[in-house]
Amino acid sequence: MFKFNKYFAIILLAIFMAVSVIGCTGEGGDDATNGGDVLEPTDTLMVYSGAGLRKPMDEIGEVFEEEFNIRIEYSYAGSAQNLSQIELTGTGDVYMPGAKMYGQQAVEKGLAEDNIKEVAYHIPVIAVPQGNPAGIEKLEDLAKPGVKVVLGDPEAAAIGKTSVKIFKENGLKEAVDANTVATAPTVNEVLVYVAMKQCDAAIIWEDNVVGVEDVEAIPIAEEQNDIKTLPIMVLKSSEKSELAQKFVDFVAGPEGKAIYENHGFKIIE
């Protein structure tokens, strides 16, 4: 008799819980959703972004969705990779590469509207493993025999193309090429090489070092450097151009720039 009562009680409890769940997903659940507690985004925008911008762009996406109930989906890759993808697929709403030249190329190719907005500066620095074991102090040190260098791929990443320009203009390209042990398609992958001490030095963006304990940044002299600007623009492939422009204006506006500044970028006033 005890066993029967025990199992009967369990069955009753299970039925009660099932009824409770059904009740929660009925009219009362709809009211909660309509009341604003659990709202599904009303639309989605596809944004192509430079891989090195992931931290601020992820945060911006969250804030933008919370404020406007529009979800942001990102394609993070090297700037040239993203541009090729935009051209190949003919899809997407917004493009934010790691340097303005890619934005200008997008406009010239007829892929983006000629309404580029500038958000922040992208400043190249020398990255070294924590403790700087190779004793790197300046740009010329990357050309010393035996120094192991990792760079961004100039065919894929904005930092790669920028690095090539810096070394060429300072007469260091051949010597640095001889020291280059690897190239990577994104600046994030270059950063991993440095953090894991698989090289002595690399060129990355200043903001990439923020919050990374295993990597130190050494400034490049201003007269030797090639500082870029971060642009953002609406793509002509967008079928939601008004929403895309809203996102562009948000990123280039006070809220978006404040987020970039919090992540170590110097914003454009």
Per residue in 216-225, pLDDT tens?
999 999 999 9
pTM of the full predicted structure? 0.78
**Domain definitions of the chain by residue range:** 43-121+229-267, 124-224
**pLDDT grade, residue 76 (50/70/90)?**
very high
Per residue in 145-187, pLDDT tens?
999 999 999 999 999 999 999 999 999 999 999 999 999 999 9
Homologous superfamily of 43-121+229-267 in CATH? Answer: Periplasmic binding protein-like II (3.40.190.10)
Indicate the range of 3-7, 99-103, 178-182, 257-261 predicted with least confidence. 3-7
Residue holding tokens 């940044």?
217
- Burial, 15: exposed, middle or buried (Cβ in 10 Å; 0-12, 13-18, 19+)? exposed
Query: What is 124-224's CATH topology?
Result: D-Maltodextrin-Binding Protein; domain 2 (3.40.190)
Nearest to 99 by CA among 153, 186, 162, 184: 162
Tokens of 210: 């923020």
Alpha carbon of 232 to those of 36, 161, 246: distances in Å?
A: 31, 19, 12
